[in-house]
């Protein structure tokens, strides 16, 4: 900081050092995740090598390898992983991180220009664009919320030049005004309100080499959203969402946990570049939230998924397609974006335990929800299971009736309805048909009406009754 300040200014020096520190902190977190992955792989390989060849595994632990050849190959890989772990731990203890400005993929593309369809000049232009740095944090109280990069409400962009470059200024007080004006299509109203109130807004100017366009990105810190009680969020029902590799399966549930309406699907193409995948996730979440607002639902239930330790080759072995499938699911990014977008719309996000939601959803809900005009998939049934778990209901549709001689001879079920619902204790009507062939038509029609039976007086349900206090002298 002390060396950069005389050559530029304290603001620009702080911006450069902050960006460098953020990159270093990100590399440190990635380094720790890499070490944890290596440790998990070494534990799995070591356990499987200790098992006899051909030993079958269990749900708690994997078994041995299938052949002696595979055992030998995995023993060699164990040594490779141990060497990588030792080098990574040494770098972490020394505070050394490996950072490539512009990304490692761009650096590797230099060796494969023909496969990437790029020339050397095109690749160098993209590399220089990724290494350029022009960003500044906001300052509350300053004009338009930023003194270094200032954007007026009408879209005029001006930059405060450092002292050595002050002769290039085309505006008073050493500022350079860009010829083009900018507009913010996404959350432009919120940005205009912050700029008018001189609240902090951070800006970043970058070049898109594919479109040969300059873009200005504005960002600001959102105030913390107050937490609302779960009962208040679930007062109008909930929407269960099952996250998949190419779509979001959603179903609306009422307050009793019963699915209403038809299931919805929100597709997203997660192939292509990072910006394309990010845009697809935002688009799918935006449509989901619009549908939730249309239904009047104030809560969305999602699974608390984390595939960080589940996509290693040591855990799944030859199941390469499955590893690619779970690696392509942006569970953490999707949940974080859903939470941030839902805060702006006033919709609560409830993360539930993902254990057995798909299996139990298929077992208890797929067949009952399938009809001649609607085919319910396993993902739709899993969405129902997720929503019911968020509401506190059991995933199973109905539990077994109570034992005999304890309540109406197994005549009712009390799981689906709440304690205050009328008729929840009523007897189940005996409908003649294939299930009750021994019951003739009309039998049991007046089972729940005691007035229709041969009894003296009125039924107990129609008379207020209070138990007398027991005499203590008996």
- Say whether pLDDT at 235 is over 80: yes
Identify the band that residue 448 occupies on the pLDDT scale cut at 50, 70 and 90: very low
Q: 110 pLDDT exceeds 80?
A: yes
Residue owning tokens 């290039």: 168
| Rounded distance between C-alpha atoms, residue 97 and residue 230, angstroms | 43
Q: Is residue 250 helix, strand or coil?
A: strand
**What are the tens digits of pLDDT across the range 22-56?**
888 989 999 998 999 899 889 989 999 999 998 88
In the prediction, which pLDDT does 453 show?
Answer: 38
User: In this predicted model, which residue has the larger pLDDT, 220 or 307?
Assistant: 220
List the one residue out of 320, 328, 322, 305 whose CA is nearest residue 246: 328
**Mean pLDDT over the full length of the chain:** 78
Average pLDDT value for residue range 316-327: 59
Task: Give the Cα separation of 159 and 135 in Å (integer).
Answer: 10
- Return d(Cα 367, Cα 375) in angstroms, integer: 9
Indicate the helix (H) or strand (E) that contains 263.
strand 259-267
Which residue has better confidence, 177 or 451?
Answer: 177
User: Is beta strand 238-243 parallel, antiparallel or unpaired with respect to 299-303?
Assistant: parallel
- For residues 105-113, average pLDDT: 85
Q: Quote the radius of gyration of the chain (alpha carbons, Å).
A: 32
């Amino acid at each position: 900081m002390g060396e950069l300040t005389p050559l530029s200014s304290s603001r620009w020096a702080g911006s450069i050092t902050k960006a460098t520190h953020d990159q270093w902190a990100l590399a440190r977190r990635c380094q720790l995740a890499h070490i944890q992955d290596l440790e998990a792989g070494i534990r799995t390989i070591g356990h499987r090598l200790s098992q006899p060849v051909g030993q079958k595994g269990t749900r708690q632990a994997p078994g041995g390898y299938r052949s002696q050849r595979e055992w030998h190959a995995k023993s060699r890989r164990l040594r490779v992983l141990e060497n990588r772990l030792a080098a990574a731990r040494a770098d972490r203890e020394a505070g050394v991180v490996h950072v490539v400005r512009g990304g490692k993929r761009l650096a590797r593309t230099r060796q494969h220009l023909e496969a990437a369809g790029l020339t050397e000049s095109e690749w160098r232009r993209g590399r220089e664009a990724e290494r350029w740095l022009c960003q500044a944090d906001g300052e509350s109280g300053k004009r338009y919320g930023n003194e270094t990069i200032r954007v007026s409400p009408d879209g005029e962009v001006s930059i405060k030049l450092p002292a050595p470059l002050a002769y290039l200024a085309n505006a008073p007080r050493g500022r350079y005004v860009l010829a083009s004006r900018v507009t913010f299509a996404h959350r432009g109203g919120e940005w205009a309100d912050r700029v008018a109130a001189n609240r902090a807004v951070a800006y970043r100017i970058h070049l898109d080499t594919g479109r040969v366009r300059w873009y200005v990105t504005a960002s600001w810190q959102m105030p913390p959203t107050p937490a609302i009680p779960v009962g208040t969020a679930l007062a109008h029902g909930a929407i269960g969402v099952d996250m998949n590799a190419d779509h979001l399966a959603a179903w609306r549930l009422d307050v009793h946990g019963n699915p209403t309406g038809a299931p919805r699907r929100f597709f997203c193409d997660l192939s292509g570049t990072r910006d394309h995948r990010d845009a697809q996730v935002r688009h799918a979440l935006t449509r989901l939230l619009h549908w939730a607002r249309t239904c009047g639902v104030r809560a969305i239930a999602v699974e608390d998924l984390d595939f960080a330790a589940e996509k290693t080759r040591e855990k799944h072995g030859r199941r390469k397609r499955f590893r690619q499938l779970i690696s392509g699911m942006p569970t953490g990014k999707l949940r974080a974006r859903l939470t941030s977008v839902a805060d702006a719309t006033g919709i609560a996000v409830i993360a539930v335990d993902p254990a057995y939601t798909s299996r139990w959803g298929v077992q208890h809900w797929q067949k009952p929800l399938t009809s001649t005009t609607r085919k319910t998939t396993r993902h739709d049934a899993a969405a129902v299971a997720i929503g019911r778990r968020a509401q506190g209901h059991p995933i199973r549709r109905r539990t077994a009736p109570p034992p005999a001689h304890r309540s109406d001879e197994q005549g009712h079920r009390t799981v689906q309805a709440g304690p205050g619902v009328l008729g929840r204790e009523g007897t189940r009507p005996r409908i003649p048909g294939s299930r009750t062939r021994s019951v003739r038509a009309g039998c049991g029609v007046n089972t729940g009406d005691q007035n229709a039976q041969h009894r003296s007086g009125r039924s107990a349900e129609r008379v207020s009754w209070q138990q007398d206090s027991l005499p203590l002298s008996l």
